[in-house]
A = this chain, B = another copy of it.
Amino acid sequence: MRSYQEMTKEELQQEKKALEAEYKKFQNRGLQLDMSRGKPSQEQLDLSMGMMDVLGSGVDLTCDDGTDCRNYGVLDGIYEAKELIGDMIECNPANIIIYGNSSLNIMYDTISRSMTHGVMGNTPWCKLDSVKFLCPVPGYDRHFAITEYFGIEMIPVPMLSTGPDMELVEQLVSTDEAIKGIWCVPKYSNPQGITYSDETVRRFARLKPAAKDFRIYWDNAYCVHHLYDLDQDHLIEILAECKRAGNPDLVYKFCSTSKISFPGSGVSAIATSLNNLEDIRKQLKIQTIGHDKVNQLRHVRFFKNVHGITEHMRRHADSMRPKFEMILDTFERELGDLAVGSWYKPKGGYFITYETLEGCAKKVVARAKKAGVVMTPAGAPFPYGKDPKDSVIRISPSYPNMEELTLATQIFVVCVKLVSIEKMLDGVC
């Protein structure tokens, strides 16, 4: 197939007519499809139903150390859960605090605490004139929502195929004391599916921030969310690398089982240096008596150990892989030659990002919506919802079943083609 750029105006007009007819047909079906959020499918949720059976009225809810999980106590999580999560994210259990059901909530609390009480004895951010965060873009909208909520100025940093543009990160972080953090989804990033290269992680660990209270917010949300058993991305463990680099306190690492067991009913955790943990515990002991230990135990008893998680995630992959492959194959087949956009081919995570011609993303999303396909709003993966090129569209393959997803992908492709042609014909999109 020839690219649209190579076609004549007449050919484009003809193509457009055919696409409009196709689009109309989809529209007339009154579809309701959703590719907007990274929600597991029912099939994936069913994989964890065994978790509802591991505890029962006849089961002893006591930890190895004698803790009765049913009662108050144990501020930072039962040891068994720390060990399980530690193995999952390659950290020492001693560096881990287990929280409630949401790693987003930990991140929020971390920022909130920094606002009111500062980081390890430094000035509370609410007392500073200016607080800034670096935001690799495209990134995760809920991260940006937290920093925006607290009035933190967000500075976009472009994502490269190796992770954030580290030259820019190094330059900004080393010169501006107002920069207090950077949001990272280092593995199978949201939304592009990029894993930070070894060099990127090493450069992160070697940052020399102007601000003593600068921290890397390392949201390792997709740490075990591979699509393939052997062909997996590898991410260097950042805590260990920071320790080796003489920067042990530089990073907060977050994770959860939201997309492993049940979203909203899993466990989440932070892993960080002992100094940071001490700082966090000062607040945590005021905030709560402890998180849900019964649910921690439920996870431990269900997965048993990290091998259990690996096997479990293999079954998740069996559900996700065909969806990713179908979308990527469709893109390749339908859009590969047209020169109307680009995408990465993630080996894991929850998202595929389609990058349209400049100025087309909003129109594609709007067109898709009118044909019954809900997408993440264009712009969402950027601070303040503003994509300067209006070209990034996040696609979430997980939730719909294959039939729905196939249909949604076909509709999406038609929308991309149509909007691209319109841009070419009009000169401006």
Is A52 in contact with chain B by the CB < 8 A criterion?
yes
Assuming the contacts A116-B115, A262-B294, asked whether A289 and B42 have C-beta atoms less than 8 A apart, the reply is: no
Encode A284-297 as 1/0 by CB contact (under 8 A) with B.
00111111111100
Within 8 A of B (CB), among A117-147: 117, 124, 126-127, 142, 145-146
Output the residue of A45, A71, A117, A145 with the most chain B CB within 10 A. Answer: A71
Tell me if A292 and B289 are in contact (CB < 8 A).
no
Q: Are B57 and A262 in contact (CB under 8 A)?
A: no
Given A50-B57, A59-B52, A264-B293, answer yes or no on A288-B116 (Cβ-Cβ < 8 Å): no
Would A149 and B57 be within 8 Å (CB), given that A126-B116, A265-B69, A265-B293 are in contact? no
Of the stretches A104-112, A209-217, A307-315, the one at the interface is: A104-112
Identical chains bound together, number = 2
Q: Are B264 and A72 in contact (CB under 8 A)?
A: yes
Q: Check B45–A262 contact: CB distance below 8 A.
A: no
Contact A108 B286 (CB under 8 A): yes
Residues of B within 8 A of A149 (CB): 117, 283, 286
Q: How far is the CA of A42 from the CA of B149 in the complex (A)?
A: 43
CB–CB B101/A291 < 8 A: yes
In the bound assembly, the distance between CA atoms of A258 and B289 in angstroms comes to: 11
- Write out the residue numbers on chain B whose beta carbons fall within 8 Å of the beta carbon of A42: 68
* CA A154 to CA B340, docked complex, whole Å: 64
A287 touching B71 in the complex, CB below 8 Å, given contacts A57-B53, A100-B292, A294-B265: no
Inter-subunit contact A264/B286 (CB<8 Å): no
Distance in Å: Cβ of A119 to nearest Cβ of chain B: 15
Contact of A263 among B71, B127, B286 (CB under 8 A): B71
B68→A45 contact, CB < 8 A? yes
A40 at the B interface (CB under 8 A): yes
A290 to B258: give the CA distance in the assembly, Å.
11
Bound state CA distance, A288 and B115, in angstroms? 18
Contacts of A124 in B (CB 8 A): 126
Considering the chains assembled together, what is the distance between the CA atoms of A116 and B126 in angstroms? 8
* Per-residue contact bits, chain A 23-53, to B (CB 8 Å; 1 contact, 0 not): 0000000000000010110100100111011
A333: Cβ under 8 A from any B Cβ: no
9 A-B pairs closest in CB distance = A265-B294, A49-B57, A72-B263, A108-B287, A70-B262, A45-B70, A149-B286, A126-B126, A105-B288
Residues of A within 8 A of B (CB): 37, 39-40, 42, 45, 48-50, 52-53, 55-57, 59, 61, 68-73, 100-102, 104-105, 108-109, 112, 115-117, 124, 126-127, 142, 145-146, 149-150, 258, 262-265, 283, 286-295
Besides the known contacts A71-B264, A112-B116, A264-B294, 5 further A-B residue pairs in the complex with CB atoms under 8 A apart? A108-B287, A115-B116, A116-B150, A264-B292, A292-B295
Q: List 23 A-B contacts (CB under 8 A).
A: A45-B70, A52-B55, A53-B56, A53-B57, A70-B264, A71-B264, A72-B263, A73-B264, A100-B101, A100-B292, A102-B290, A104-B288, A104-B289, A112-B116, A116-B126, A126-B127, A145-B286, A149-B283, A262-B294, A263-B289, A264-B292, A264-B293, A265-B295
